Amino acid sequence: MMNKKLIFITLIVLSSLLLFKKEEKFQENFTFISLPVKRVYLNIKNSLSDSIDKYINQSNTIENLKKENLLLRKYLYNQKMIINQLEQYSKSKMLKYDNSDNILRIQMISYKKLNDFSYIYLTGGKNRDLKENKIYGLIQKDVAAGIVIKKDNRLEGILLSNDKCQFSTFVGKKNMPGIAKGIDEKTMEVNFIPKWSKILVGDKVVTSGLDNIFLANIPVGVVSKVLTRSTYKTAIIKTYADILHPNYFYLVKKAPIHIHDINRTMLKDNNITVN
């Protein structure tokens, strides 16, 4: 009788250990399998919200304001890009951008893992203008919120709190270069700032646009602490984005213009061969 009890208890323990090991994989698989259902739920939710706006809350006015707000925000991002390029290349020709086509409005579908709030799935994965495995910048309202990678026609968002979220930045009034890396939901560190740089608490941190991920001059955060390493400085920054409440985001599909591209255009205009 005792042997049967021991065998029964042993089987329960072994089963529990096996389930524990497979829990994380199960969570990821479950989330992936449930994506179609969540998309349907999201579409129904959005449809109901739109219906309420249309038939209860003066639909025409709200609908027009939403469209105007979207167009104005796209116009704002486009103007930031143009202003930044004009400041750096005031004597150069500017290429034309279609601000409506260049900015993609996307929405969160769900978290990738149930216990990780820094990985999310986003709408827009079937957009043909987005390249597989290319990194794109993720903007929340008018501040940096993370990066996006397209994999198998799905958009995976990696928010600022994840240490895999990394992009190029400028720090302070003199635009000292550095690489931002996620720490937690309100903090990032900017590494590889030149050691001789005068970085102060309170300095603003913005995207540089030099890595072709973000537009230039998108706000990221403010310096809260400065550390001196052996060969460079590190700035600990407090980020602006509210990544604990993700919903709608903006993704910039086209990279900003850089001086190399504009120089090539100028040389071509002057009939000079470019290798």
Residue range 34-255 forms a domain whose CATH class is: mainly beta
Q: How do 166-171 and 143-151 pair as beta strands?
A: unpaired
Which residue shows structure tokens 């590190």?
234
Write out pLDDT tens, residues 193-225.
Answer: 999 999 999 999 999 999 989 989 999 999 999
Residue 117 has pLDDT above 70, yes or no: yes
Give the pLDDT score at 90: 45
In the structure, what pLDDT confidence band is assigned to residue 182 with cuts at 50, 70 and 90? very high
Exposure of 224 by Cβ count < 10 A (0-12 exposed, 13-18 middle, 19+ buried)?
middle
Classify residue 185 as exposed, middle or buried by CB count within 10 Å of its CB (0-12, 13-18, 19+): middle
* pLDDT interval class at 14 (50, 70, 90): low
The yes-or-no verdict on residue 124 having pLDDT over 60 is: yes
Q: What average pLDDT does this structure show over 259-263?
A: 41
Taking alpha carbons only, the member of 129, 135, 132 closest to residue 154 is 132
> What's the mean pLDDT in 63-72?
74
pLDDT, averaged across the chain: 78
Q: Beta strands 232-239 and 176-184: pairing type?
A: unpaired
* Whether residue 7 has pLDDT greater than 90: no
Token couple for 39: 């998309």
Give pLDDT, residue 215: 87
Average pLDDT over residues 45-49: 73
Q: Which has the closest alpha carbon to 201: 220, 186, 219, 223?
A: 223
- Give residue limits of the domains in the chain: 2-33, 34-255
- DSSP output for the chain: -HHHHHHHHHHHHHHHHHHHHHHHHHHHHHHHHTHHHHHHHHHHHHHHHHHHHHHTTTHHHHHHHHHHHHHHHHHHHHHHHHHHHHHH-TTSPPPP--HHHHEEEEEEEEEEETTEEEEEEES-TT-TTSPTT-EEEEEETTEEEEEEEEETTEEEEEETTSTT-EEEEEETTTTEEEEEEEEETTEEEEEEEETT----TT-EEEE--TTSSS-TT-EEEEEEEEEE-SSEEEEEEEE---TTS--EEEEE-SPPP-HHHHHHHHHHHTT----
- Sign of the CA dihedral with 25 first, then 26, 29, and 32 last: negative
Is the confidence at residue 109, as pLDDT, over 80?
yes
Give CA–CA dist 197/194, Å, rounded: 5
- Whether pLDDT at 119 is above 90: yes
* pLDDT exceeds cutoff 60 at 2: no
- pLDDT over 90 (residue 82): no
pLDDT tens across 58-67, in order? 667 777 777 7
Mean pLDDT of 38-46: 74
Q: Which of 18-27, 86-95, 234-243 has the lowest mean pLDDT?
A: 86-95
166, pLDDT greater than 60: yes
pLDDT of residue 92: 41
The residue-averaged pLDDT of 85-95 equals: 49
pLDDT exceeds 90 at position 237: yes
Residue indicated by tokens 């400085």: 233
